[in-house]
A and B are shown apart, each in its own frame.
Chain A
Amino acid sequence: MELILASAIGVLTAAGIYLVLRPRTFSVVMGLSFLTYAINFFLVSAGRLAVNRPDILVAGKDLSEYTDPLPQALVLTSIVISFGMTALIVVMGVRGYFENENDRVNLDATEEVIARSRQ
């Protein structure tokens, strides 16, 4: 189980990084989604894996019978924040697309840098 999760985290990270390095906005957003999955699982696994031990307190159950709730709380925050970030970046991509009439992530180095240094 641990090996499965660890290898999945590795695969998701690799996919995320590869896509983030692509030259178009949309693939970057997809890459970020992959990275989000990988990181969320990594954070959850910091509490070590536990099966069938949800953090819903039941009378009479020993405290060692529950999984670590703190990473879960942190990841819940992380999911919501990454959603906000994804939405923001996607919209930046759309706005950029309409402003520049293309969806490339790079400035056109030759033109832009010259234009800036002239200002």
Chain B
Amino acid sequence: MNIALIVLLPLLGAVLPALMIRSGRNACMTSAAVINGLALALLLTHVPTVLGGGTPPRVDWPWFPQIGLSVQFWVDGLGLLFATLILAIGLLVVVYARSYLSRNDPMGNFYCYLLIFQAAMVGIVLSDNLLLLMMFWELTSLSSFLLIGFWSHLPAGRQGARMALAVTGGGGLALLAGVLLLGNVAGTYQISELLTRRDMVQNSQWFPTILILILLGCFTKSAQFPFHFWLPRAMAAPTPVSAYLHSATMVKAGLFLMARLWPVLHNIPGGPEPFAGWWFYIVGSVGALTMLIGAVIALFQDDLKGLLAYSTISHLGLIGMLLGFGTPEATMAAVFHIINHATFKAALFMNAGIVDHETGTRDIKRLGGLVWLMPLSALMAVIAGFSMAGLPPFNGYLSKEMMLEVVAHTKWLGSEMALTVLVTVAATFSVAYSFRYVFSVYFGAKRHDYPHHPHDPPFGLWGPPAVLVVLVIVIGLWPGDVAESLVKTVTAAVLQSPAPDTHLKLWHGWTPAVTMSGIAVGVGIVLLLLYRLLATIWKVVPRPDAKVIFDAVIAGLIGGCRLFTETLHNGSQQRYLFSIVAATIGLAGWSFASYPWSVGDRPLIPASPPVIVGWVLVVGATFLVVTNYRNRLFAVIVLGIVGLFSSLGFVYVSAVDLALTQISVEVVTLILMLLTLFFLPKQSAPESRSWVRGRDATLAIVAGSGIGWISWMMMTRNWSLPSIQSFFLENSKSGGGGTNVVNVILVDFRGFDTFGEITVLGCAGLAIFAMLDGILQGKLRARILNWNPGIARSADRHPVMMVVVTRIMLPLAVMVGFYIFLRGHNLPGGGFIAALIVSIALIMQYMASGFGWAANQVRFKYHALIGSGVLIAAATGIGAMVFDRPFLTSWHDHWHPPKIFGIDFGDIELASAVAFDLGVFLTVVGAVMLALAQYSKLGSTAAEFQTNVRPMDFDPSLSDTPPATSGSAGEVI
């Protein structure tokens, strides 16, 4: 149980610092440190079990078993090592960042991102499921984007973050493909299971694809050549981020995955056919090359963090190369170097941060002689730097010797010398840049031209690196006691077999490795002495600039996408719709081609004369609309015929609820269309060329005939599968408590659909309100105030008769609505229809008496109506959950009220669905009224110079006739 907590703690706890920042920066840091520390403590409780060789503790929660995704975590040796590094260095970084970040930096955000990142990293290393690992992998890319771009006001920060995200995210895509293939080939996504299936994977024809895709993910994440270029750019991040991401965590994720999958993927020359040597030559060569290139470039960096960044690339290459060698000894060296590199590199990054913080610059050329001003920092830099150079007795020396020893015995394409020479050269440059860091910054003449006056920093800045430096020494001096058991456990976990029986110690005797080391140190010092000459040559030699290439690639991609998009998406809706319809016809024709296009044999219903009359009217009206659509008012009214007859058609085919809904919707739509025509032009001139119209007509006729024929084929056949209708018919009364099956389906069986639907309708109402409100404000307001509708307007805008009649109709209509609402569960009716009836009655008031007066009479907000409707519907659904039933389970019962004054009220049927239907009712009224009322407000703003305050323009009941209108358009509203 509690190993999932190691991941969940930082993930969920990430909000805490963001909240605690209100109590000050110390509280913020403390909260982050406590969460981090708790996770670390939880992890460390498992150390005895894991180091003692016990079964790794694990949790296993099924999540999506169908696709093999489960929440599976385990703490084995490898996971333990990485998780410890992540959480321990994380804790140091948390402390360090408190002193590093300035007052202006949003510290709450910083710790929040940092903890999310930490959780993602821990998630990667503790996952026992490849798909779960992938999710955390992507989360590291995203959260590192936030961290690298933390100083988002700096262009370099933004560009660096973008580049890191593009490269690692792109690699993540490749990795996802590789992981999916791997899981499919191996038949499992559980890592511990997968590791035993090497034969299955390596015998598969997919192995090269899997290997290359997974390695693409690892190489991009771990900044291996040729994907190394993002790492130096990511140095624009605050130094604590660099120390964390680029020493201990993110860049090691690629190495971690290579180590994790090593048992299934590794294959050295002479290994199992047919892909013998693939792993060795790809991983080993890329690693070696990266090691050399990183080391050479690092020497010529003037920025301290740039130097460390390229050095990190070089060391990552070193570890990758060792993993690529595919032997137990090499793997052990890799594991040991992972630990050592994390300690000295994090210490050095923090050291660079101290220098930057104290002197105000990271430029090596402007630094020097700091040992006199900052002795403590200098001491730490010397120790960590010498460890990086691989000098005894520090820990970097130990793993470097192991590496050199392995290299000396490894043949590359049959040659023993190739790798030996290459690695010695890389080690030489490594010594040179390490010394350059130490000596150019801290030694030499004392300078006085620093931007700030430097001195040793407060404890918050030197404490964390000091812890690491102590580790550098302790591991270096007593490797056998401190590190050996951990290294061996981890190595065994990587190998999935016992670790080799070599011991970690400082002196192994006069081995080839010692010779190589000696050469490296000697020549390295010479290189540094010749630095000026070398730097001059370096500047002259042309080199490809990764940023230029990257930018060109990105610009090319964007250009290609833009060309593609703008060709297809050129702003012509007519073209889009034509393509969509044409493509749909093509696809439908293609898929129907293999079916018999014949008429079925279901018995038909004879057509009665009224039906034929209705058909003639509908087709005739349609024809009229199509031929006269430019005369818009006419077309809208004729369109109403189609609507009316479709309601009648619904009645005829036994769809009574539909007919009621359709006819009320028809009325509201007509009002809406007429209001619209008030604003839009009433006529439009013909503008399409005749061939365009002919083309469109042809397409329309083809589509119409197709749909007609499909309907005809469908209606003349019986269902190919038994219909599920009997379920609804059988259970409507007993399960839903109503005899109107359609209504019971809406509020009960498929209540969740309806719930979604009213939410959508409510949103549409709000969107309409917002869109219209936008016209009433800003520059459009002036436009609408000066707008002339261009039609003659009635002198009597609010006629007495209309006002009186609609006023009388309102209570009657509300009564009808209430009746329709209540009977809906058993007879045609229900919330929708009732809502539309009530809305029509309300909107009639606006039409008769004008917006200004009507709006004044409304004592509630339509927004609130929508909200309360959705909430009531939701509450009904949640009510079922209170009784331990699924969401929206309905309840119904009979209730016989006691006699009051001898009157028997009979049996009253109660159903919770009524409350749900009430929610539907309120939402629909709210949405319709919100939209239409806002529309009429727009109309009154546009057309009426003055807004009315009285219901009618001429009121005979008033003896003296005061002016019927007063004030300007804005006042009443």
Residues of chain A having any CB pair with chain B under 8 Å: 1-30, 33-34, 37-38, 40-42, 44-58, 63, 66-70, 72-73, 75-77, 79-81, 83-88, 90-95, 97-99, 101, 103, 105-109, 112-113, 117
**Given contacts A56-B739, A77-B757, A106-B572, A21 and B827 within 8 Å (CB-CB):** no
Interface of A is mostly: helix
**Neighbouring A residues of B653 by C-beta, 8 Å:** 5, 44-45, 49-51, 67
Q: With an 8 A cutoff between CB atoms, is B594 at the interface?
A: no
**Neighbouring A residues of B657 by C-beta, 8 Å:** 72, 76
Give complex CA distance A18, B629 in Å.
Answer: 11
Closest-CB distance, B354 to chain A (whole angstroms) = 44
Closest-CB distance, A110 to chain B (whole angstroms) = 10
Say yes or no: B629 contacts A30, CB within 8 Å: yes
Kindly identify, within residues 351 to 403 of chain B, every residue whose CB is under 8 Å from any CB belonging to chain A: none
Give complex CA distance A77, B924 in Å.
Answer: 12
Say yes or no: B712 contacts A3, CB within 8 Å: yes
Say yes or no: B774 contacts A7, CB within 8 Å: no
- How many pairs of residues, A versus B, come closer than 8 Å at their CB atoms? 316
What number of B residues sit within 8 Å (CB to CB) of A? 120
Give complex CA distance A109, B569 in Å.
Answer: 10
Interface of B is mostly: helix
**Neighbouring A residues of B764 by C-beta, 8 Å:** 84-85, 87-88
Select B700's contact among A15, A73, A90, A117, beta carbons within 8 Å: A15
**Neighbouring A residues of B832 by C-beta, 8 Å:** 76, 80
Say yes or no: A72 contacts B927, CB within 8 Å: no
Give complex CA distance A47, B729 in Å.
Answer: 14
Sample (10) of A-B pairs whose CB atoms are under 8 Å apart: A2-B604, A5-B715, A6-B712, A18-B626, A21-B577, A21-B581, A26-B676, A33-B643, A51-B605, A73-B746
**Neighbouring A residues of B625 by C-beta, 8 Å:** 15, 19, 30, 34
**Given contacts A90-B672, A93-B676, A94-B680, A75 and B708 within 8 Å (CB-CB):** no
**Neighbouring B residues of A14 by C-beta, 8 Å:** 700-701, 703-705
Q: With an 8 A cutoff between CB atoms, is B650 at the interface?
A: yes
Say yes or no: A79 contacts B665, CB within 8 Å: yes
Select A23's contact among B669, B687, B705, B739, beta carbons within 8 Å: B687
Kindly identify, within residues 743 to 771 of chain B, every residue whose CB is under 8 Å from any CB belonging to chain A: 745-746, 750, 753-754, 757, 760-761, 764-765, 767-768, 771
Say yes or no: A45 contacts B711, CB within 8 Å: yes
Closest-CB distance, B758 to chain A (whole angstroms) = 8
**Neighbouring A residues of B47 by C-beta, 8 Å:** none
**Given contacts A1-B611, A56-B739, A106-B571, A21 and B654 within 8 Å (CB-CB):** no
**Given contacts A44-B650, A83-B668, A86-B669, A1 and B571 within 8 Å (CB-CB):** no
Say yes or no: A30 contacts B745, CB within 8 Å: no
Closest-CB distance, A81 to chain B (whole angstroms) = 6
Say yes or no: A38 contacts B707, CB within 8 Å: yes
Select from chain A the residue with minimum beta-carbon distance to B934: A91
Select from chain B the residue with minimum beta-carbon distance to A20: B577
Closest-CB distance, B399 to chain A (whole angstroms) = 53
Closest-CB distance, B282 to chain A (whole angstroms) = 42
Select A83's contact among B629, B669, B709, beta carbons within 8 Å: B669
Select B742's contact among A76, A83, A90, beta carbons within 8 Å: A76
**Neighbouring A residues of B687 by C-beta, 8 Å:** 23
Kindly identify, within residues 662 to 691 of chain B, every residue whose CB is under 8 Å from any CB belonging to chain A: 662, 665, 668-669, 672-673, 676-677, 679-681, 684, 687-688
**Neighbouring A residues of B726 by C-beta, 8 Å:** 63
**Given contacts A15-B626, A41-B649, A57-B733, A69 and B605 within 8 Å (CB-CB):** no
**Of residues A7, A56, A75, which shows the largest number of chain B Cβ atoms within 10 Å of its Cβ?**
A56
Give complex CA distance A57, B767 in Å.
Answer: 39
Closest-CB distance, B607 to chain A (whole angstroms) = 5
Give complex CA distance A53, B360 in Å.
Answer: 87
Say yes or no: A1 contacts B680, CB within 8 Å: no
Per CB-CB distance, the 9 closest pairs between chain A and chain B, nearest first, are A10-B708, A14-B704, A107-B571, A6-B712, A18-B700, A73-B745, A57-B739, A84-B764, A55-B741
